[in-house]
Amino acid sequence: MPKSRRAKACDIPQLVKMGVWKRDGGRCIICGNPHAAPNAHYIRRSQGGLGIEENIVTLCLECHEEYDNGSKRKEYGEKIRKYLKDHYPGWDESKLIYRKWG
């Protein structure tokens, strides 16, 4: 069964992963762990978070789990938000969400 447009938009393409990995220096942006991957959405996929560099960060497994399901969602979210704002002048959260009609 083919993926929906939303699913495709929220997937992280390999080129994006490579760009994020390079931007983040190959380390978790929260704790600095080199055993990390560029596959964490700032705005969750379930909320329509796009698979674009401005919405993706490199996190280790532990920090990713804490951000997604742990007690540090708010704290880590604020750190990630500041990190992305620092790297993308004019960064706008509203542009990170899939919109079916434009």
Long-range pairs for 78-84: beta carbons < 8 A, 24 or more residues apart: 79/29, 79/30, 80/29, 80/30, 80/40, 80/42, 81/42, 83/29, 83/57, 84/42, 84/54, 84/55, 84/57
Please give the pLDDT value at position 29.
98
Residue 97 forms part of a structural domain: no
Please give the pLDDT value at position 86.
97
User: Structurally, how many domains does the chain consist of?
Assistant: 1
Domain that holds residue 29: 5-88
Please give the pLDDT value at position 23.
98
Q: What is the pTM of this model?
A: 0.92
Please give the pLDDT value at position 5.
85
Residue 29 forms part of a structural domain: yes
pLDDT by residue for the chain (102 residues), tens only, comes to 667 888 888 899 999 999 999 999 999 999 999 999 999 999 999 999 999 999 999 999 999 999 999 999 999 999 999 999 999 999 999 999 998 765
